[in-house]
A and B are shown apart, each in its own frame.
Chain A
Amino acid sequence: MKNHVLRPLWVAIAFVALILLARYVMVPRDFGVQGDSFTFNFHRAGNVDEWKNMPAVAYLGGETCVECHDEQGAALEDSPHVIIQCENCHGPGRDHPETENPATMTIDRSRGLCLRCHADLGYENSSRADLPGINPEEHNIDTQCVQCHNPHTAEFKEDA
Chain B
Amino acid sequence: MSCSRRTLLKNTVKGAIVASLPISAFRLLSPAELKAAIGDEKVRWGFVVDTTKCVGCGFCVKACKKENEIPYDAPITRTWVERYVVTRDEKVHADSPMGARDGFTSARIDEETMESGGEHTAEIEPAEIAKAFFVPKLCNQCEKPACVQVCPVGATYQTADGVVLIDRTWCIGCGYCVMACPYGVRFFHPKYKVADKCNFCYHRISKGLKTACVQACPFGARQIGNLRDPDDPVTQTIMNERVSVLKDEYGTKPQVFYLGLDYTVK
Interface residues, chain A, with chain B CB atoms under 8 Å away = 31, 34-37, 39-44, 47-48, 51-59, 61, 83-85, 87-88, 91-92, 112, 115-117, 119, 121-128, 130-131, 136
Contacts and interface: CB of A to CB of B under 8 A. Distances in A.
A127 B209 CA distance: 27
Report which residue of B66, B155, B165, B203 has the largest number of chain A beta carbons within 10 angstroms of its beta carbon: B203
A28 B34 CA distance: 24
B106 A42 contact: no
A31 B165 contact: no
9 contacts: A35-B158, A43-B157, A44-B154, A51-B202, A55-B203, A92-B67, A112-B103, A116-B57, A136-B105
Nearest to B133: A126
A57 B54 CA distance: 25
A126 B203 CA distance: 33
Given A87-B63, A115-B103, A116-B59, A61 B218 contact: no
Contacts of B203: 51-57
B168 to A, nearest CB: 8
Contacts of B202: 51-52
A56 B204 CA distance: 9
Interface residues of B, number: 58
Nearest to A116: B103
B71 to A, nearest CB: 13
B129 interface: yes
A107 to B, nearest CB: 15
A127 B63 contact: no
Nearest to A36: B37
A106 to B, nearest CB: 11
Main SS at interface, chain A:
loop
Q: Which of B59, B102, B105, B165 has the most chain A CB atoms closer than 10 A to its own CB?
A: B105
A47 B165 contact: yes
A127 B157 contact: no
Interface string B212-237: 10011011000000000000000000
Contacts of B37: 35-36
Given A36-B36, A87-B63, A125 B131 contact: yes
A23 B66 CA distance: 38
Contact of A51 (B103, B149, B199): B199
Interface in B144-161: 144-145, 148-149, 154-160
- Interface-centre pick from B106, B144, B145, B154 (highest chain A CB count, 10 A): B154
Given A55-B203, A123-B129, A83 B218 contact: yes
B265 to A, nearest CB: 13
A139 B62 CA distance: 26
A40 B55 contact: no
